Structure formats: structure tokens, C-alpha cells
Amino acid sequence: MGNEPALAGCVVEALLNNETYFFRDRNPFDLLVAQVLPALVAKRNTARRISIWSAGCSTGQEAYSLAMLFASDPVRWRGWTIDILATDVSSSVIDRARAGVYTQFEVQRGLGVKEMLNWFSEADDGWKISESLRRNVRFQVHNILEIAPPPGQFDIVLCRNVLLYLSLERRRQAFDRLAAAMAPDGSLMLGAGETVIGQTDRLAADRDRRGLYQLSVPVPSASRVSLGA
Ligand SMILES: C[S@@+](CC[C@H](N)C(=O)[O-])C[C@H]1O[C@@H](n2cnc3c(N)ncnc32)[C@H](O)[C@@H]1O
């Protein structure tokens, strides 16, 4: 009887799909470098701080890919604080992400040989991510559906390939959580083939940039059409 919560946890862990790899689907990372980050730099030039949340980070490749983007351009980011929080409901993947040790197969997925040698060193148990990158990502166990993240804080939220297995009701709940965690001018990135359309009215698709979502602009009450008035 006393082992039921632990057993339930094991069953949930076994059902989770943890598929991920470095720079998955590449396009979102190119979009960040070419458009999203330059726009943020202009807006955050005084505070010089950018906060990013990788929600449903699995074994950490998404978050470390982000850290690589910043570390690849040290001159550009000198004097800036880049806070990368990476969370997942599964404690086993968070342990692996924190350890930052990957198999040869995992490091080769998404990374060229040059990047692999640049960011990893060979260890007895696999390829270990450089300490400088590891220090730049905070990993935490967190269930998007259970605990509300700190409000209004994140400039960029990535929640890619996480919500697609949830019911519409659960997805709506998750989108509300993600929206509440975003800065007013923040951006959400979903996976290829995912969308907010028809699932929440708190977020709207960016007209020009596929895969990018912003908070919906609330309609001022004075300009709302009142039915039956
Ligand atoms: C397919 S992986 C995606 C990893 C990464 N975002 C990517 O696109 O490569 C989905 C991850 O979402 C996590 N996940 C599922 N439901 C979650 C929830 N309610 N809260 C937090 N993480 C969740 C799973 O544990 C899994 O590691």
C-alpha cells in the first residue's frame, strides 16, 4: 500500500515520451538568432537580462542548445545576464540533464563534429558537456499542470513537443500557465505541427513567423461589442 505513490510515479515516467536532440528542428533556433534575440536586445538594453524557460526539457538538449547559441557569440553577450531555466515533470530526465553526460549517438544528433569537440569532452561514461555550459542552465523538476511558474518573467518560453499528448482541456490549462509566465512582450515557441489556434485565447500566432506565439492583446472593454445592448 505504502509503495503506491512510488509505483504511480514509475508508471507515469514509463509513459512519457522523452525524445529530444540538440538543435531539434533547427529552424526555431535560427529564428531566435536572426529575429527574436535582436528584437529583445533592443528592448532589454537597460536591464541587460534575458530569461528563457525550456518547459518539458527532457534530458536537456534543448536548453544546452540555447546555452550554446549564447556561448558561441561571447562578444555580443558580454555584460548580459542570460538566465536559462529548464524543467521537466520527470525526475530521471532532470537528473540526466543535470549530469550533462550523453552517449556518442546522442551528441551526434544535431551537432557537427566541430561543435561536439568544442562543447564536450570524452569521459568514462560518455561525452560530458563543458562546465561553462552546464553552469548556465538551471534544471528543476516541475509539472506544468500542477505548479504555476513565477508570473510575467520569461522573455522566451519553449514548450516544444510536450503538450501534444494532452486532452484539449489539459492543454488549455497548460497554455494558461505558460501565458501567465511570459513577459508582456515575450514569445512562446511550440514544436513543428503544434499550435495554440483553437486551444486558448490567451495566445496568438505571430503573423509573420511560423512557430512563434505572443500574448493576445486584450480587447479594451469600451471597444467590445455588447450583444443584446
Ligand atoms: C518529447 S519530449 C520534448 C523535449 C524537448 N522539448 C524537445 O522538443 O526536444 C517531451 C517532454 O515533456 C515532458 N512532459 C510531459 N508532460 C509534462 C508536464 N505536465 N510538465 C512538464 N513536463 C512534461 C516529458 O517528461 C518529456 O521529457
Domain 58-142 class, CATH top level = alpha beta
Q: How far is the CA of 201 from the centre of ligand 1 (A)?
A: 23
**Could you report the per-residue pLDDT of 73-132, keeping only the tens digit for each?**
999 999 999 999 999 999 999 999 999 999 999 999 999 999 999 999 999 999 999 999
User: Could you give the residue ranges of the DSSP H alpha helices within 152-194?
Assistant: 168-181
CB atoms within 10 A of CB 169: 9
Q: Which residues pair with 129 in a beta bridge?
A: 120
Does ligand 1 come within 6 angstroms of the Cβ of 56? yes
CA-nearest of 172, 171, 156 to 213 is: 156
Q: Whole-angstrom Cα distance, residue 177 to residue 172?
A: 9
Q: Per-residue pLDDT tens for 63-82?
A: 999 999 999 999 999 999 99
Indicate if ligand 1 lies below 6 Å from the C-beta of 17.
yes
User: Is 89 a pocket residue for ligand 1 (Cβ < 6 Å)?
Assistant: yes
3-class DSSP state for residue 108? Answer: helix
Fold equal for 58-142 and 148-216: yes
CA 101, chain centre distance (Å)? 20
Q: Is the CB of 92 under 6 A from ligand 1?
A: no
Query: CATH homologous superfamily for 148-216?
Result: Vaccinia Virus protein VP39 (3.40.50.150)
Q: Taking 60 as the threshold, does the pLDDT of residue 54 lie above it? A: yes
Question: Atom 2 of ligand 1 has which residue's CA nearest to it?
Answer: 18
CB-based contacts of 187: which residues, under 8 Å, 6+ apart?
36, 155, 156, 157, 206, 212, 213, 214
Higher pLDDT, 82 or 211: 82
Q: 43 CA distance to ligand 1 centroid (A)?
A: 30
- pLDDT tens sequence across 131-179: 999 999 999 999 999 988 888 899 999 999 999 989 999 999 999 999 9
Tens-digit pLDDT profile for residues 156-165: 999 999 999 8
Predicted structure pTM score: 0.91
Ligand 1 atom having least distance to the Cα of 90? 25
DSSP 163: G
The residues spanned by each domain of the chain are: 58-142, 148-216
